[in-house]
Amino acid sequence: MLSVAHSRRRRRRLEWAVLTAVLLGLVAWLSTPESLGRVNHLVQDAGLRLVSRPPHPDIVLVAIDDPSIAAIGRWPWRRALHAELIARMSAQGPRVIGMDVLFNEADLDYPEDDLLLTEAIRRSGRVVLPVLRRGHGPTSNATDLPWPAFAQAAADLGHVHVAPDGDGVVRSLFLREGPATAPWPHFSMAMQCVAQARQPGATPCSRPPAHTGDAAPWERADHTLIAYAGGPSQFTTHSYIDVLRGVVPADAFRGKYVLVGAAASGLGDMFATPVSQQSRLMPGVEVVAHVLDARLSDEQIVPASRMLNTLFNLVPVAAALLALLLIGPLAALLTSAGLALATLLLSVCLPWWAGLQFAPAAAFLGLVLAYPLWSWRRLSAAAHFLRLEMENLQRQGLSMRLRKRPGDSADFLERRINAVERASRQLRDLHHFVSESLQQLPSPSIVCDPEGQVLLANRAAHEHLGGDAQAPLQGQSVVDLLADLVHGGTRQPLITQEHLRNRSLPEHSEGHDAQGRSLLVQCKPFTDLANAGWLLTLVDLTDMRRALQQRDQAMNFISHDIRAPNASILTLLEMQRAYPGRMSDEEMMLRIERYAQASLGMAENFVQLASAQAQEYRMAPLDLVALLAETTDDLWALARDRQVEVRTTATPETAPCQGDRALLSRALANVINNAIKFSPEGRVVECAIAARGVHWVLSVRDQGPGIAPELQGQLFTPYQRLHNRSHPSIQGVGLGLALVFTVVQRHGGSLEVDSDTGRGAEFRLVLPRSEGAPEGGHTG
């Protein structure tokens, strides 16, 4: 069954991979701005209309509008009027004047007007004139320049061409256009250059040489999108005739970028733009104003590169396909809708946030196709699965009728679902668990469903987890029951809801519970016709792990601590052979004796600890007062050498106790020996015995350096040497107090420590009193 599920899952992933490859390939192919251009322009133009900014306050238009035509007469006008206009505007001190009017020939009727206009342009020193490409064919390379006298008097020249898209809408232009040897800057760039050149210390604008022939091919460079500030009539505009009549404010043009151009009906170029409303066209001079506005506002929009545009379209489609694979149908549908909305918002906002314009139509197409295509494949897979399940149930001998029954829907998928539902009902009737055999298992065993709810638990599990007849384990969560069972290294729970649901529990795992027990958890998933779940078995490894730990400690002790003195002896002998006479025989013998004594002492401590842990104690009546006296007598010589006094301060006349005399004597000797070794010269080690309820308390206090509270938990752990840094000269392997702890514990007592850094230490051996002993005792 697992192999069938795995095969089905692999087939689903293969179908998803094929659909993903085809759909992403289609999206990548259609990710060019030219593909699906109408949809791309619809989204891009909506973004330009929705996200607009106020026009730059320093841009002013002087429109050759219908009122001006009505007042002056039909176009073209005498150039003396243009000269008067330039003079009146220059008198107010504008930054630059852009005359978007082509004067490419001399006025043969009024030659004196050309002189007036030339002089007005020269006196102003801030007039920019346009240049045009003559003709529009691919081989047309000639340039229409202003009449030479005007061109020489002008501050700069610039082209006024735009780049309409296939639908005739002006969305972009080329900042440089003209002969390949010296292309002209755009009219807005020329105006900006003249305005900057008039600043003190600025460099004059460089003008390309005048080319009127077609020797050099026409070239266009620096393609950029027009960042429109809004729709038509956004900028401050004055009528041409009003300027001539002097009815405009006296400071209307002071410090402004002034553009003069045609806006009357049927006069000059009129363009459709993305921000045009109700089919209203925008005059060419106003398009130039929008380009200048974007440059002054430092707003630049460029088309995204082919690679960026492809990634922009692929990412939401890939995310939607992943959602279809990983989450449910409704969530995937909502995710796809959210991704489409996010793609739309980014397409609208990124031109203003990052200066990049994307073509999102391919992403929309991919998002629209992903959900229905995948749903079609899933529906086909579901119908195929139901058909196979019905055939399997028939082969297993269940009475199933595939033909239509009264009341069944005409839909073939619903009929198959109803048939499978009837089969499931029969299977539930046949389902049962064999619980008695589970109850006989010696190890705690729990059967739970995929969600972790306990279905069955044997008696061993009740005893292990503390359940009883009044509080059965059935229905409880196995995750909560085993919450304290954690991994020894990571301290993470071994049984989690996620592991159960994902069926990812390891077959064997080991951990520790809150009681310090080491437990092996054996997990086995099962499927029983209509039910699925887990069989969990707990095996207590505490004793085995403790024995292994002791073995490892013993091996480490034997391989390192005991070998070290013997290795030192061998080193001394080799040095003596290699360099005879360098060390006296007496000194060498003393060193060998010291190393041998150290090795012997460590071996003896190890054997004594092992005996204390494993051997059977020879319990017999004894007197702790006499035992204390014998021990202090045995250590008198050591105390004298260390110049430490061992004093018994208070004891009863007798302190009867049941115990192993040899082991208790050794434990007491270890405690007093430590007190002597860590006491400074001239200090006193105080020993006492007192009664505490049904126990005797045998205390040993020294005046040594003391033990920090955070280290006291390690005192009785074998092979722990806490004095390596504070007292490196005092030898030991960390077995003395471990032996004391083991002996006292096996006698039914406890070992207490009262110490702190700098105030000495007091060890108290609390041992049970013999039955019949008096509650109190006389001290002496």
Q: What is the DSSP string of 227-287?
A: ---SSSS-SEEEEHHHHHHT-S-TTSSTT-EEEEEE-STTSS-EEB-TT--TT--EEHHHH
Q: What is the DSSP letter of 558?
A: I
Q: How confident is the model at residue 154 (pLDDT cuts 50, 70, 90)?
A: very high
pLDDT one-digit tens code per residue, 49-62: 776 778 889 999 99
* Separation CA 245–CA 88 (nearest Å): 10
The 3-state DSSP class for residue 525 equals strand
Query: What pLDDT shows up at residue 121?
Result: 92
What does the longest C-alpha to C-alpha distance in the chain come to?
148
Pick the residue with more confidence: 112 or 42? 112
Pick the residue with more confidence: 559 or 230? 230
Query: What pLDDT shows up at residue 775?
Result: 45
pLDDT one-digit tens code per residue, 504-544: 888 888 888 878 788 888 888 876 544 578 888 888 877 77
Q: How confident is the model at residue 563 (pLDDT cuts 50, 70, 90)?
A: low
Q: For the residues of 722-737, what is the DSSP string, one character each?
A: TTTTT-TTS---S-HH
Query: What pLDDT shows up at residue 729?
Result: 46
The 3-state DSSP class for residue 131 equals strand
Q: How confident is the model at residue 780 (pLDDT cuts 50, 70, 90)?
A: very low
Query: What pLDDT shows up at residue 604?
Result: 60
Residue 445: which H helix or E strand, with range?
strand 445-448
Query: What pLDDT shows up at residue 400?
Result: 52
Work out whether strand 508-512 and strand 270-271 pair parallel, antiparallel, or are unpaired. Answer: unpaired
pLDDT one-digit tens code per residue, 381-398: 777 776 777 777 666 665
- In the block, tokens 């403790």 appear at 546
pLDDT one-digit tens code per residue, 157-192: 999 999 888 888 888 899 998 887 778 899 999 999
Strand ranges for 315-444 from DSSP E: 356-357
Query: What pLDDT shows up at residue 717?
Result: 60
Pick the residue with more confidence: 467 or 209? 209
* Separation CA 651–CA 699 (nearest Å): 10
Q: What is the DSSP letter of 209?
A: P
- In the block, tokens 């259609």 appear at 30
* Separation CA 713–CA 709 (nearest Å): 8
Pick the residue with more confidence: 413 or 224? 224
Cα end-to-end distance, the chain, whole Å? 83
Q: Determine what percent of the chain is predicted with pLDDT higher than 90.
A: 20
Q: Is the confidence at residue 291, as pLDDT, over 60?
A: yes
* Separation CA 495–CA 504 (nearest Å): 10
If you average pLDDT over every residue of the chain, what do you get?
A: 79
* Separation CA 765–CA 697 (nearest Å): 6
Q: Which letter, b or e, does each residue of 770-780 get, where b requires 16 or more Cβ atoms within 10 Å of its Cβ?
A: beebeeebeee
pLDDT one-digit tens code per residue, 327-377: 878 888 898 899 989 998 888 888 878 878 888 988 889 888 888 888 888
Query: Can you tell me the mean pLDDT for 145-157?
Result: 91
Q: How confident is the model at residue 773 (pLDDT cuts 50, 70, 90)?
A: very low
Pick the residue with more confidence: 416 or 456? 456
Contact (CB, 8 A) for 320 and 335: yes
Contact (CB, 8 A) for 351 and 15: no
Query: Can you tell me the mean pLDDT for 626-647?
Result: 87
Q: What is the DSSP letter of 759?
A: S
Weakest-pLDDT range from 80-94, 160-174, 611-625, 727-741: 727-741
